[in-house]
């Protein structure tokens, strides 16, 4: 029996209510296969609606294959086969993200200063990029990314990082993770991936899940050593030389040269240079890239705008050596770009017109001041019991307890005082060496000085006992 809800309770058009009830009856078996439905005129009269309303419901049911019209006989239920007896379930509303009760300060290393984002500039460039008189604005972007953006990035990389490349070598992708997947497909599965240990663990997980053999190499005070690589062929090394994550080490020129010599000595040896956090050094100029001193086309350069602009801008770039570029074009050059043309044009204008450089200069001052403030506050709160590690760079620092407290104890005690700090054990492949057992990460990019002061005060109560 089809019924309609009162208008104030319905919430759906009348034809859709009729459609819903018939569909429910067909799924449940209340209406059997080949059973005839009431005529449109009779059902309209019974429900007090127009024939047009019933016609709309029947048309939708017929379109989806629940019923069929038989000439001069009416509408009949279609056989449902193995679907008979199933009841459709409406989608359940997605539960909201659970809030962390009592959390006062989150020292996450994955945030940026939202108040310093150039909202007005970005809005202006977005409006200018969406030009309805441009015949290309709605076209699919090129697989490697828009040519003008790749040209702008190539020019910027040369002036800021010494990277030597042509726009043809640049591939635009949806952040570092996506680009590592692309690179994994280009390389094929004949390579072993050597990773610094500890490591950006998403890189490790990506290569591992793609079936690559992985070789963790423990870093020392200068980053990944070259000695364990000697004699290895068909090997790709993944490193973050400008600001090693999570330890914050910057690789000196001597170690960079050693790794380049290793790569140059074999045919199938490459280095992935993830230039993480390279834009932010606070006491010295950014270090030259490894790619800039590579004379044998052995370095694959990877960069993103996650920290320099915002994590929401899921855009990054690969610079491929010529031989790997040929592999890309042969096997993957026809793949669709995952980045919309509109977003690429906004970023292109942001870099080309000088906004990006001005933004970086501003953010270096902001983040440098935050780091100095946090270091001073920690030194005052823990004059003897806490050590601070890492270069004056990036968005995080590493602290370790001199009192013999482990990372689990440090994290738990901080959380009881409403503060979240981050363990580093999850970044190690295999067991964490004992010398790091009392170390945790503190990010400061997204926190104000007031929040930093509150966080340190809470940590003093947590760790000063």
Contact (CB, 8 A) for 29 and 84: yes
**CA 327 vs CA 193, 250, 254: distances in Å:** 18, 32, 31
90 backbone dihedrals φ, ψ, rounded to 5°: -65, 150
CA 102 – CA 99 distance, rounded (Å): 9
Which CATH number does 105-113+358-463 carry? 3.90.1150.10
Contact (CB, 8 A) for 18 and 55: no
Are the folds of 7-83 and 105-113+358-463 the same?
no
Q: What is the pLDDT of residue 179?
A: 93
Strand partners for 195: 216, 238
Query: Three-state SS for 98?
Result: coil
The mean pLDDT of the chain is: 88
Q: What is the mean pLDDT of residues 334-353?
A: 89
Name the pLDDT band for 85 (thresholds 50, 70, 90).
Answer: very low
Q: What is the pLDDT of residue 166?
A: 94
Q: What is the pLDDT of residue 240?
A: 92
- Please state the domain extents for the chain: 7-83, 105-113+358-463, 139-354
DSSP code for 433: P
CATH 1.10.10.10 fits 139-354, yes or no: no
What is the per-residue pLDDT across 11-45, written as a single tens digit (0 to 9) for each?
Answer: 678 888 899 888 888 888 888 888 999 998 998 88
Name the pLDDT band for 9 (thresholds 50, 70, 90).
Answer: very low
What is the per-residue pLDDT across 45-70, written as a single tens digit (0 to 9) for each?
Answer: 888 889 998 999 999 988 888 899 99
Which CATH number does 7-83 carry? 1.10.10.10
Name the pLDDT band for 90 (thresholds 50, 70, 90).
Answer: low
CA 235 – CA 233 distance, rounded (Å): 5
Q: Is the pLDDT of residue 256 over 70?
A: yes
pTM score of the predicted model? 0.80
CA 367 – CA 356 distance, rounded (Å): 16
What is the per-residue pLDDT across 186-240, written as a single tens digit (0 to 9) for each?
Answer: 998 789 999 999 998 899 999 999 999 999 999 998 999 999 999 999 999 999 9
């Amino acid at each position: 029996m089809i019924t309609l809800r009162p208008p104030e309770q319905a919430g759906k058009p009348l034809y859709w209510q009729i459609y819903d009830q018939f569909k429910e009856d067909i799924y449940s078996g209340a209406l059997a296969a080949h059973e005839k439905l009431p005529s449109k005129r009779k059902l309209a009269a019974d429900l007090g609606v127009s024939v047009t309303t019933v016609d709309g419901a029947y048309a939708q049911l017929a379109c989806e294959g629940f019923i069929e019209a038989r000439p001069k006989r009416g509408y009949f239920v279609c056989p449902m086969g193995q679907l008979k007896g199933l009841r459709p379930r409406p989608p359940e509303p997605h539960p909201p993200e659970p809030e962390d009760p009592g959390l006062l300060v989150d020292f996450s290393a994955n945030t940026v200063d939202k108040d310093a984002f150039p909202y007005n500039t970005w809005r202006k460039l977005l409006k200018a990029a969406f030009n309805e008189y441009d015949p290309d604005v709605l076209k699919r972007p090129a697989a490697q990314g828009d040519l003008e953006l790749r040209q702008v990035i190539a020019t910027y990389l040369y002036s800021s990082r010494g990277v030597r490349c042509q726009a043809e070598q640049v591939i635009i992708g949806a952040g570092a993770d996506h680009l590592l997947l692309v690179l994994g497909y280009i390389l094929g599965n004949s390579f072993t991936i050597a990773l610094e240990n500890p490591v950006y663990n998403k890189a490790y997980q990506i290569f591992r899940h793609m079936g690559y053999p992985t070789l963790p190499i423990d870093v020392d005070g200068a980053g990944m050593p070259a000695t364990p690589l000697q004699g290895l062929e068909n090997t790709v090394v993944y490193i973050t030389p400008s600001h090693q994550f999570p330890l914050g080490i910057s690789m000196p020129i001597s170690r960079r040269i050693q790794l380049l010599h290793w790569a140059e000595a074999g045919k199938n040896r490459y280095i992935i240079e993830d230039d993480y956090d390279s834009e932010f050094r606070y006491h010295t100029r950014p270090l030259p890239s490894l790619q800039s001193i590579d004379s044998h086309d052995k370095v694959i350069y990877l960069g993103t705008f996650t920290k320099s602009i915002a994590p929401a801008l899921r855009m990054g770039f690969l610079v491929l050596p010529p031989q790997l570029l040929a592999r890309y074009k042969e096997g993957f050059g026809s793949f669709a770009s995952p980045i919309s043309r509109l977003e690429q044009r906004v970023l292109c204008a942001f870099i080309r017109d000088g906004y990006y450089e001005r933004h970086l200069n501003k953010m270096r001052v902001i983040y440098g001041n935050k780091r100095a403030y946090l270091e001073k506050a920690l030194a005052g709160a823990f004059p003897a019991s806490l050590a601070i590690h890492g270069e004056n760079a990036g968005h995080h620092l590493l602290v370790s307890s001199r009192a013999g407290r482990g990372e689990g104890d440090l994290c738990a005690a901080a959380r009881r005082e409403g503060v979240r700090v981050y363990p580093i054990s999850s970044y190690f492949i295999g067991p964490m060496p004992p010398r790091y057992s009392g170390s945790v990460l503190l990010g400061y990019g997204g926190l104000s000085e007031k929040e930093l002061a509150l966080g340190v005060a809470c940590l003093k109560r947590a760790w000063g006992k």
